[in-house]
Structure 1
Amino acid sequence: MNKGFTLIELLVAISIVAVIGIIALSGLSRVIDHQIISQERLDRWREVQLAVRIVSNDLSQIHPRPTREELGEAWLPSIVVDPNSQYDLEFSRGGWSNLMGLPRGSVLRVSYDQEDSKLVRFTWSVMDRTLSTPPTRTELLTGINDMTIRMLDNNGEWHLEWPPLLIENPKRLEIRPRLIEFRIILDDMGEIWRTIEVGA
């Protein structure tokens, strides 16, 4: 008598191996899916951290220099937060390194704006720009539902617009807030805010 497997025993063994293979592939597929989701979350977190770091660095370097508006007829304050303005936030930023020795100053004009669900940063290579001086546009962050900016003055009062309208000071265009609170609400991470001290 031959000592081998019967057809039924072979079919049962093949079925068991097939079920184990399906379970293993299913588990591997889940692991890969979780790894992809984890990588997407990590990439998103890095994107948010980079954007917050750029905004924080810019705001901590606000410079008191006002700038001419594009037609050259009036002066804009060193920092402008006004709902009627073209940008949500516009300011002069010092500390712009010039390692290449290019013919430019060390103060840069920067603006932030919420365009749809994106946080966009604009920079101009010259302070007193004209209509023919286009800004450099950089999308820093996506998925923004709301953005709020408020400033703390030297009297300890918060303002949603800057410069405050009631300030009667000959240097009104150069007045900077003591603190700036920058809040964004992201559709996937909720509210993130930073309170930044403006350099002296």
Structure 2
Amino acid sequence: MACNRLLVSSRQQQGFTLVELLVVVLIMAIMGAAAYDMLGTSMRLESRTAEHSHALERLTKAVYWLQQDSEQYIDRPIRDVLGESEPSLLLNSGELSLTHLGWSNPLQERRATLQRVHYQVSNGELQRLSWRVLDRAQDSAPIRQVLLDSVQGLEFAILANGAWHGQWPLAASSLPGGESSAAAQALRVRLTIAPFGTIERIFELPSTGKEGAL
């Protein structure tokens, strides 16, 4: 009887067997790997969410600039660096130039509140160029602002006479009665950008009448 009690006590003191220890280690390893994988997935998801949020914020700001510039458009032609007259609204080869009101002046500098801006895509970047003067000289350098990257396509169109036009001003031959100009009514922007695909926005242009002479 005493021998049996001694045998049971000896088995209890032995603890886990090698097989049991291996099973425990294996289970802990599986749980650790699963936890690590879940952590990695969570971090990747968080990173993608942050990137998407940042891209959306930049897209929103770019649309804001386009909207502000177009909705404050004014019929004020300019002179380029060669002294040639340039229309107040110019759309050519997929690039847009216009004169707009509302150029903020927080430092109260001695300058006009009108500004000339130009939109273009270069190396996948949507760029907004602006100048400190309307009628430019040879040394008038633009201020270049990168609004977006990963731009895959940009298309502008002007609404006039009930149709959309990819060039502006219109040629006299394309207007009823051979008129030399027409009133622009709206600006359409189609922008293709990763990861959002193609978006379209239409902005109403102020009723400024026909292109004025400089």
**TM-score (normalised: structure 1):** 0.88
Counterpart AA for 1:58: D
Name the Cα RMSD after superposition: 1.7
Match of 1:195 in 2: 202
Match of 2:128 in 1: 121
Match of 1:132 in 2: 139
2:59 corresponds to 1:48 = yes
Instruction: Say whether the 8 Å CA contact 1:61–1:94 is kept in structure 2.
Output: yes
Match of 1:8 in 2: 19
Q: What percentage of residue pairs aligned between the two structures are identical? A: 30
SS in 1 for 2:92: coil
Q: Distance in 1 between matches of 2:102 and 2:46?
A: 41
Match of 1:179 in 2: 186
Deviations 1:136-156 (A, max 9, x none): 001111122221111112x32
Deviations 1:88-125 (A, max 9, x none): 11110111122221011000000001113111110001
Q: Distance in 2 between matches of 1:101 and 1:48?
A: 30
Instruction: Say whether the 8 Å CA contact 1:144–1:187 is kept in structure 2.
Output: yes
Match of 1:62 in 2: 73
Match of 1:18 in 2: 29
What is the aligned counterpart of 2:88 among 49, 54, 78? 78
SS in 1 for 2:97: strand
Q: Which is worse superposed, 175-184 or 106-115?
A: 175-184
Number of equivalent positions: 191
Counterpart AA for 1:75: S
Q: CA deviation at 1:187?
A: 4.0
Match of 2:119 in 1: 112
Instruction: Say whether the 8 Å CA contact 1:64–1:176 is kept in structure 2.
Output: no
Match of 1:146 in 2: 153
Instruction: Say whether the 8 Å CA contact 1:176–1:198 is kept in structure 2.
Output: no
Counterpart AA for 2:78: T
What is the aligned counterpart of 1:163 among 166, 169, 173? 169
Q: Is the alpha carbon distance of 1:176 and 1:58 closer, same or farther for their aligned partners in structure 2, counting shifts above 3 Å? A: farther
Instruction: Say whether the 8 Å CA contact 1:119–1:142 is kept in structure 2.
Output: yes
Q: CA deviation at 1:7?
A: 2.7
Q: Distance in 1 between matches of 2:31 and 2:110?
A: 70
Q: CA deviation at 1:6?
A: 2.2
Give structure 2 stretches of 5+ with no counterpart.
1-8, 208-214
Answer with 1 or 2: which has the greater Rg. Answer: 2
Give structure 1 stretches of 5+ with no counterpart.
none
Counterpart AA for 1:63: I
Deviations 1:142-176 (A, max 9, x none): 122221111112x323221111111645xx5xx65
Deviations 1:6-34 (A, max 9, x none): 23222221221121111111111111111
SS in 2 for 1:49: helix
2:29 corresponds to 1:36 = no
Counterpart AA for 2:147: L
**TM-score (normalised: structure 2):** 0.83
